[in-house]
């Protein structure tokens, strides 16, 4: 990297999963809209043709009149080429195909087990982890070999186990997991200020929060706006909207399966007195089947199962639009994605120091959970440094819920690394959503592993 009058040039970013039609375009736009950084994005993907497409798209965007910086995009056929010389590494992949995802989400429904997302916990999250962990073992080994000093940004789910695997394989890696779910809750609190206090135009970054928990099961025990404690106001907000829910657009959850009315978030506040800082679709999967008992219960809580068919339909639409971008028939709109990767880059480079939530191994920032377990808390970004902020400890009744999943994820990691089917099954039946008898659970587990066997090399199924 080269520093020149407050600008940093020749930043080298390796992007594993660089053939993406989704996150890649957000990254391309975010980088183009910043005027302090420039350099090269080195794209690596198992589908080299897709990486070449993003090379073309990224280079075309750099020529847009409204682009504030020029980045060079280059596709590489090997991970070695992409990583060698990289200052930063981004990992954002889809572990498997829609066939495996369909099994993750919908095979359990045959046994009365429902999941709204199926990518973090629950039977689907566990099986997804089993096929993702071997990939992350290879990524960690490659990073240790070719870019040991690079900072690694992980965006793939299951976030906790992907990040945990990187550290298990390469303990000295400088990696962290990035998720925007807390941002959404800060945004909700900003809208609450408008609704109850008439304070409009508050940006979510103005809501200061203390974050504790694990990815997609994060909690806030402190939230302020300009020094004012927001918990009393949130209690009023919950009482006002508990039954009908609160959305940007009324009943959006009915037609958009990626949204919810926040009723689960409100219910968890009434139960535990803390603000659950993730979307309802994720929160529901960490609890017993209070919210996912059956389709009627799901509708009652005003959220939906994000079906794999809906994802496939979205994929077709995205691919059609993406092809128009690649051909030049349409231009990529340059707008900020809402992610923080550019600001995080600047923090680690030393341009600015700031605090945000990330997923890191526990070195004492969160009490009441094992050291080394990956937790989500705030951390300080500064020059070549990421320092966790002491977050404290969750109340026992909430910590028990979080700890249950941490220990289960540790069992899942051990099972994946040792290819131990029995150990994986013990984690499977220990998930709060798997409330079926053992024989049926064994049958479901066997079916799900069989459906994802192409991604389980060396397993005896």
Q: What is the pLDDT of residues 356-387, one digit of tens each?
A: 999 999 999 999 999 999 999 999 999 999 99
Chain centroid offset of residue 273 CA: 25
Active-site positions? 180
Question: Tell me: the pLDDT tens digits for 83-93?
Answer: 999 999 999 99
Separate counts of helices (H) and strands (E) for the chain: 17, 14
Q: Where are the alpha helices (DSSP H) in 62-121?
A: 79-83, 98-106
What are the tokens at 357?
Answer: 């939530």
Confidence of residue 52 (pLDDT cuts 50, 70, 90): very high
Mean pLDDT across 262-287: 98
Domain boundaries, the chain: 2-96+121-178, 97-120+179-306+339-461
Would you state the torsion angle of the CA atoms of residues 28, 30, 35, 40, taken in this order, to the nearest 10 degrees? Answer: -30
Q: What string of DSSP letters covers 190-250?
A: HHHIIIII------GGGEEEEEEEETTEEEEEEEEETTEE-HHHHHHHHHHHTTT---SST
Model confidence, pTM: 0.97
What was the pLDDT predicted at 186? 98
How far apart CA 346 and CA 329 sit, in angstroms, is 33
The yes-or-no verdict on residue 249 having pLDDT over 90 is: no
By residue count, the chain amounts to 461
Mean pLDDT across 191-204: 97
Confidence of residue 248 (pLDDT cuts 50, 70, 90): confident
Confidence of residue 1 (pLDDT cuts 50, 70, 90): confident
- CATH number, span 2-96+121-178: 3.40.50.720
Question: Tell me: the pLDDT tens digits for 95-115?
Answer: 999 999 999 999 999 999 999
Mean pLDDT across 265-280: 98
Mean pLDDT across 176-196: 97
Mean pLDDT across 185-193: 98
Confidence of residue 2 (pLDDT cuts 50, 70, 90): confident
Mean pLDDT across 67-82: 97
CATH class of domain segment(s) 97-120+179-306+339-461: alpha beta
Task: Report the phi/psi class of residue 341: left, alpha or beta, with left for phi > 0 and alpha for psi in -120 to 50.
Answer: alpha
Tell me whether the omega of the peptide bond preceding residue 70 falls within 30 degrees of 0, making it cis. Answer: no
Confidence of residue 250 (pLDDT cuts 50, 70, 90): confident
How far apart CA 85 and CA 1 sit, in angstroms, is 10
| CA atoms within a 13 Å half-sphere pointing along the CA-CB vector of 397 | 6
Average of per-residue pLDDT values in the chain: 97
Confidence of residue 33 (pLDDT cuts 50, 70, 90): very high
Give 44's contacts (C-beta < 8 A, 6+ positions apart): 14, 15, 16, 17, 18, 51, 75, 76, 78, 79, 81, 82, 83
């Amino acid at each position: 990297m080269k520093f020149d009058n407050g600008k940093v040039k020749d930043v080298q970013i390796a992007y594993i999963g660089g053939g993406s039609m989704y996150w890649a375009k957000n990254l391309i736009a975010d980088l183009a809209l910043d005027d302090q950084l420039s350099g090269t994005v080195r794209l690596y993907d198992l589908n080299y043709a897709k990486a070449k497409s993003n090379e073309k798209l990224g280079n075309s965007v750099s020529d847009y009149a409204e682009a504030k910086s020029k980045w060079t995009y280059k596709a590489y056929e090997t991970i070695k080429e992409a990583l060698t010389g990289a200052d930063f590494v981004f990992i954002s992949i889809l572990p498997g195909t829609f066939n495996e995802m369909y099994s993750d989400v919908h095979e359990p429904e045959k046994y009365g087990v429902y999941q709204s997302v199926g990518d973090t916990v629950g039977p689907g999250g566990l099986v997804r982890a089993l096929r993702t962990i071997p990939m992350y073992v290879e990524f960690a080994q490659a990073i240790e070999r070719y870019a040991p000093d690079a900072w690694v940004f992980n965006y793939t789910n299951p976030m906790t186990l992907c990040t945990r695997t990187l550290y298990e394989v390469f303990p000295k890696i400088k990696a962290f997991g990035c998720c925007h779910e807390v941002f959404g809750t800060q945004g909700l609190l900003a809208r609450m200020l408008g609704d109850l206090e008439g304070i409009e135009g508050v940006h979510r970054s103005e809501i200061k929060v203390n974050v504790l928990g694990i990815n997609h099961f994060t909690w806030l025990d402190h939230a302020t706006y300009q020094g004012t404690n927001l918990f009393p106001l949130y209690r009023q907000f919950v009482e006002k909207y508990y039954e009908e829910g609160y959305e940007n657009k009324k009943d959006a959850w009915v037609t958009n399966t990626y949204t919810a009315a926040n009723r689960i978030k409100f219910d968890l506040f009434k139960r535990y007195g803390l603000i659950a800082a993730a979307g309802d679709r994720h929160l529901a999967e960490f609890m017993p089947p209070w919210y996912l008992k059956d389709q009627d219960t799901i509708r009652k809580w005003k959220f939906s199962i994000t079906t794999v068919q809906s994802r496939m339909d979205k994929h077709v639409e995205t691919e059609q639009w993406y092809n128009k971008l690649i051909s030049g028939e349409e231009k990529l709109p340059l707008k900020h994605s809402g992610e923080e990767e550019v600001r995080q880059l600047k923090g680690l480079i030393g341009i600015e120091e700031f605090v945000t939530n990330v997923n890191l191994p526990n070195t004492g920032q969160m009490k009441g959970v094992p050291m080394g377990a990956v937790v989500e808390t705030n951390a300080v970004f500064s020059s070549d440094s990421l320092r966790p902020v002491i977050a404290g400890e969750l109340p026992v009744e909430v910590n028990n819920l979080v700890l249950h999943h941490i220990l289960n994820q540790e069992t899942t990691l051990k099972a994946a690394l040792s290819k131990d089917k029995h150990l994986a099954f013990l984690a499977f039946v220990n998930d709060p959503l798997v409330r079926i008898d053992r024989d049926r659970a064994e049958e479901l587990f066997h079916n799900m592993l069989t459906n994802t066997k192409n991604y389980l090399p060396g397993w005896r199924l």
